[in-house]
Amino acid sequence: MPAFPRILHIATGGTIAMAKGPDGSMAPFQSATDLVAAVPEVQEIADVHMETLPEIDSSNIFPEYWLQIARVIANRYHEFDGFVITHGTDTMAYTASALAFMLQELDKPVVLTGSQIALGVIGSDGRRNMVNAFRVATSDCAEVVIVFGSSIIRGVRARKISAFAMEAFESINENAIGEIGISMRISRRALRRTGRRLLFTPTLEPAVALISAYPGLDPALVEHVVHTHKGVVILGFGTGNIPSEGPRGLREVVRGATAAGVPVIVGTQCVLGSTNMGLYRVGKEVLEAGAIPSVDMTPEATLVKLMWVLGQTRELERVSSMMLKSYVGEIAPCYEIMER
């Protein structure tokens, strides 16, 4: 009888790791073993091993924790055929992006999943998501992905778009790379196991800020953020437009940040689409002041990518070049060329 694929389950907490106690209150499982035991189907498709990290609400997950997860995978990479990470949904997209940038040239799947409703509660999506995550972890896919509901989503393209629906995550600016229904279908666009050697780059500069522009935003606030951080992401309006003129214009703030060696990345608050900062004067003026467009990256991927890039270099020309290069599918090829 052939052996099942060896899968390492990394438990980090989240709703999926909670169950109803005798008094009816919700409490975490005592161990990752208990979580897997609550979904026995996974042991029919995989030889499951466990690694438990400190279980915390995903709202309390910081870049240091991303590094901890990445190091577990890198250190035990050759022991297993795939990895499943159970994680809270609120910041799962950030973690997926961080792992994708730090763990490149993967030759096996790294799958994140969670649930909207805890296991053991009527209507829970936890069992389905957990089983499907292990199915993908034993597949030929070789990327960091989020498996949730019926979707298999590239990690750097995922966003949580609903606090209510079971299909809580969506693939932004590209179709999901797979779907799970009666059977599992993985797109030809997904990377496969082909013998690549892991490229592990555990470098993150956590002093990066994310700001959304809004009518009346005080430039002094942005200046303060620039002075206290190594990099800044500003989500502008539409195609990447931010106020550029008058007493509340940000053009000179961007120019000053650039002169001080602090990169300013400008994205869009729109869920879909790309920056096109040369389209309107307000965007063009900020671009000429030194802003770097985020192209069609999600805010989560943009923030984490800037942390990863600044962990390797502070030289602005190289920062710009790296931010505009697609490493793990975070930028569509057509946009990558256009924004250069």
The residues annotated with a catalytic role in the active site are 15, 89-90, 160
Q: How far apart are alpha carbons 112 and 92 in whole angstroms?
A: 8
Please list the alpha-helical segments (H only) found in the chain: 32-37, 63-75, 92-102, 126-137, 219-228, 251-259, 281-288, 299-310, 316-323, 333-339
Distance, C-alpha 284 to centroid of its chain: 29
Q: How far apart are alpha carbons 205 and 213 in whole angstroms?
A: 23
3-class SS of residue 17: helix
The two tokens of residue 99 are 């792992």
Q: How far apart are alpha carbons 201 and 103 in whole angstroms?
A: 7
Contact between residue 148 and residue 129 where contact means Cβ atoms under 8 Å apart: yes
Q: Quick one: which of 123, 128, 100 has its CA closest to 113? A: 128
Q: How far is CA 192 from CA 105, 140, 161, 165, 228, in A?
A: 10, 5, 28, 30, 42
The two tokens of residue 115 are 């649930």
